Amino acid sequence: MRGAQSVPLRLMVGREHGAPTFSMRLFEVEPGGNTLLHQHNYEHELMVLEGEAQIAGGVSGSTIRSLRPGDAAFVPANETHQIRNVSDGILRFVCIVPTHFDCGKNECDITPGS
């Protein structure tokens, strides 16, 4: 299974456009592809635009949610999650993140990819 590094991210609206609070990114995942199973201390809000996704999440990563176009999901901060393309075609989804998060250290307060 492919990792996050193979999932292209397109910044639709972000800090470079003047966004002060949150950033909208577009992801495209090839059939059979997925993001890494990972966690971080800021939240995601997702909406699937095309294809069919599963989000493996929860404290242990064992909860599965299925999403079709128009379905949205909230991934709270610190929850382990992985987005998988379970359709035969491309999976396209938007993923919104805060531009900043509180990690307790000044040097890591800007969200990556925001």
Q: By CB under 8 A, is residue 72 in contact with its own copies?
A: yes
CA distance 65 to 47: 13
Pairing of strands 53-57, 9-13: unpaired
Please name the helix (run of DSSP H) or strand (run of DSSP E) that holds residue 70, with its range, or none: none
Contacts of 94 (CB under 8 A, 6+ apart): 12, 24, 25, 26, 27, 46, 47, 49
* Contacting range for its own copies; rule: CB under 8 A; set: 1-9, 17-25, 32-40, 55-63: 17-25
Whole-number Å distance between alpha carbons of 65 and 53? 8
Of the pair 17, 38, the CB lying nearest its own copies is at 17
- Would you call 108 helix, strand, or coil by DSSP? helix
Q: Which of 4, 36, 37, 47 binds its own copies (CB under 8 A)?
A: 47
CB of 1 to its own copies, least distance (A): 27
- Closest approach, Cβ 105 to its own copies, in A, equals 19
Q: Which of 28, 30, 45, 52 binds its own copies (CB under 8 A)?
A: 45
- Shortest distance in whole angstroms from residue 21 CB to its own copies: 4
Residues that bind its own copies (CB under 8 A): 12-13, 17-24, 26, 42-43, 45, 47, 49, 70, 72-74, 76-77, 94, 96, 98
